[in-house]
Amino acid sequence: MDISDLYDASDAVGLADLVRRGEVLPDELLDEALRRVEQLNPRLNAVTMLQEGVARRLIADGLPDGPLAGVPFLLKDLGAEAIDFPSNNGSRLFANTRYARDSAIYARLKAAGLVTFGRTTSPEGGIGPTTEAAVYGGPTRNPWNPAHTPGGSSGGAGAAVAAGIVPAAHGSDGGGSVRIPASSCGLFGFKATRARLPDGPYVGEGWAGMAIDGFLTRSVRDTAVLLDATHGADLGAPYVAPPLEAGFSAALARRDRRLRVAVATTTLTGAPIHPDCRAAVEQTARLLEDLGHHVEEALPAADTAGMMAAWTKIVACGSRLSIEGTVRRRGEPLKPDEIEGIARGAIAYARTVSGSDYLEAINAVHAYGRQMAAFFEGHDILLTATLAEPPAPLGRFNHASEDYVDYRMGPRGVFAYSPFTAAFNASGQPAASLPLHWTAEGLPVGVHLAAAFGRDEMLLGLCARIEEAQPWFDRRPPLGYAAPRS
């Protein structure tokens, strides 16, 4: 089997095993990843800020003896601050930002032996379920259908992994930003319990604790190994997640019996969803019954609409702080083309939010977490769709509009399209999107599983059993790498 076939046939753990056995060299894997960037990125626009020289130096200096040593890897172009990897943070305002020290998440990824060689595109400020930022000169496209979005805000990561450029990539999730691209790109995406992964040293928390790092992968075990390599509070963290029982990789062997699974075939507020999304939920419910679990229809008695309004205020204030703080520090006024319409709208809206309004929004989010916790006293798992529709056409959620509230809360807005994922950023609970359904047109549709706060291992174990029963690894998009043949 040649290097291209090995690369396609292996997940990140599999590639690391090949390196460990001496069957391939890290430089060969990096060469293969770069060939794929060269061939695919002009059509996808998913990879940015390439740093081949840094990657070669990491290999030449001797990679740490970590669980993923030698595997090519990409950081999201938002957060994951690293000395060797400047970032645009999805914005012309922040283009080519450099960092004086490594973030804790990157330091742990580096210690795992990963060979990072660039970043993946994200929308400005991480706001929105698409990746169409002006700083990249055009939209990022979905390898299943280039007319559709790969999701956001980790859309570049989703596109790069789905197309086979890398086996796994870093992402982050403040309202579904790992799980939305996972659903849109036919991948596995897991959001861990709040504070399970480190945020420092640049911030103590993101979006009042709703944001967390994560990964886009093709296999559950890749996510498990990446989480094992990165979890745990960093120095001075404002709070920590409950301790794990045995670890994420150990959880892959779990076979929890007769879990109580609640199923919602509507949104959490009872609104209908697209027939393909409903079909994905119903098929997965039958699969879970076949696996021996108790399945019943149920909806949480929680104020989801109120939570979403609070989320909108908190994120607007975060956007204003980031943008206006940067402008103030540099001592120059903001130029008209430095930020996009939604960012301007978020700033305008944030100026109407008082300090007491902001604290009231945080209290609403905390109250929502308690409401959801009460629901999970009677259920182990909540099964829904990940999105209310298949992946949206490009342009629907671009950042041209300055009506930030309508963009989020309007009848065709983000929360109508993605009514499930932000709920678990607000509650802090672990949640995952699994690629279990495709439309007749060949677009992926994810299903979403959530568990009680701190029950990451139970959830990951269930995901492993579903992957075992209905594997997805070999299902690849039409827009993928074609190795040159002699």
Q: How far apart are CA 378 and CA 83, in angstroms?
A: 47
What is the torsional sign of CA 190, 193, 198, 203? positive
Displacement of CA 171 from its chain's centroid (Å): 5
Q: Which residue has the tokens 């790969």?
A: 150
Residues serving a catalytic function are: 76, 153, 177
Displacement of CA 226 from its chain's centroid (Å): 13
**Residue-wise burial string across 198-232, b where 16 or more C-beta atoms lie within 10 A, e elsewhere:** bbbbeeebbbbbbbbbbbbbbbbbbbbbbbbbbbb
Q: Torsion angle, CA of 449/409/215/2, rounded to 10 degrees?
A: 100
3-state secondary structure of 421: helix
Is there a contact between 288 and 449 (Cβ–Cβ < 8 Å)? no
Displacement of CA 302 from its chain's centroid (Å): 24
**Other C-beta atoms within 10 Å of 476: how many?**
17
Distances (CA, A) of 2 to 5, 28, 186, 339: 5, 11, 25, 45
Provide the phi-psi class of 193: left if phi over 0, else alpha when psi is between -120 and 50, else beta.
Answer: beta
Q: Which amino acid is at 254?
A: R
3-state secondary structure of 41: helix
